[in-house]
């Protein structure tokens, strides 16, 4: 069954994308939830026209995100957290705090769900996080957890 996505569906595809899905998934979930419509000839043609128009915008966006990724790799993000005398944190540092720190320090508004931290951060020190800036571009940033 071919469907045209009306919204971005995580793990499946992006808006205005024509995909082949299993009949039950399309009929029982995607279409009733308003996430997709059954793809016919005219909708497919319309989706192709939209894709052509957006390709230039996507190329420009990817170039901008590549420049941002290069600048992020040169900088070290500082995240403040409350810590005890031995350097152990009261709690842990998470992706929400990283997103807020990026907003304050670098004036970048990155969705917290696009930031991945390997493991729990429960001590002061320097760590790495993976940030997805674009669906084709993921970069690693260094961040330092300091006592506030």
What is the full per-residue pLDDT of the chain (148 aa) written as tens digits?
Answer: 999 999 999 889 888 889 999 999 999 999 999 999 999 999 888 888 888 888 888 888 889 889 888 888 888 999 999 998 888 999 889 999 999 999 999 888 889 999 999 888 999 999 999 999 888 889 999 999 998 8
For 10, 67, 76, 82, 131, the CA distances from 135, given in Å and listed in that order, are 11, 15, 23, 34, 11
pLDDT confidence of residue 97: 92
**Where are the CATH 3.10.430.100 domain residues in the chain?**
66-147
Which fold is adopted by the domain 66-147? Ribosomal Protein L9; domain 2 (3.10.430)
User: Hey, what CATH class is 2-60 in?
Assistant: alpha beta
pLDDT in the model for residue 72: 85
CATH 3.40.5.10 residue ranges in the chain?
2-60
Identify the pLDDT of residue 134: 85
If residue 72 lies in a helix (H) or strand (E), which one and from where to where?
helix 41-74
By the 8 A CB rule, do 109 and 142 touch? no
pTM exceeds 0.75 for this model: no
């Amino acid at each position: 069954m071919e469907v045209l996505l009306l919204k971005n569906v995580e793990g499946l595809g992006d808006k205005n994308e024509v995909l082949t899905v299993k009949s039950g998934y399309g009929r029982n979930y995607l279409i009733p939830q308003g996430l997709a419509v059954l793809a016919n000839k005219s909708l497919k043609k319309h989706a192709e026209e939209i894709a052509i128009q957006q390709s230039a915008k996507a190329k420009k966006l990817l170039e901008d995100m590549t420049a941002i990724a290069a600048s992020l790799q040169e900088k070290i993000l500082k995240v403040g957290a409350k810590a005890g005398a031995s350097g152990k944190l009261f709690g842990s540092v998470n992706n929400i705090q990283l997103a807020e720190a990026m907003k304050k320090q670098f004036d970048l508004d990155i969705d917290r769900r696009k930031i991945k931290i390997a493991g729990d951060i429960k001590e002061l020190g320097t760590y790495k996080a993976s940030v997805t800036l674009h669906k084709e571009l993921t970069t690693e940033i260094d961040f330092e957890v300091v006592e506030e």
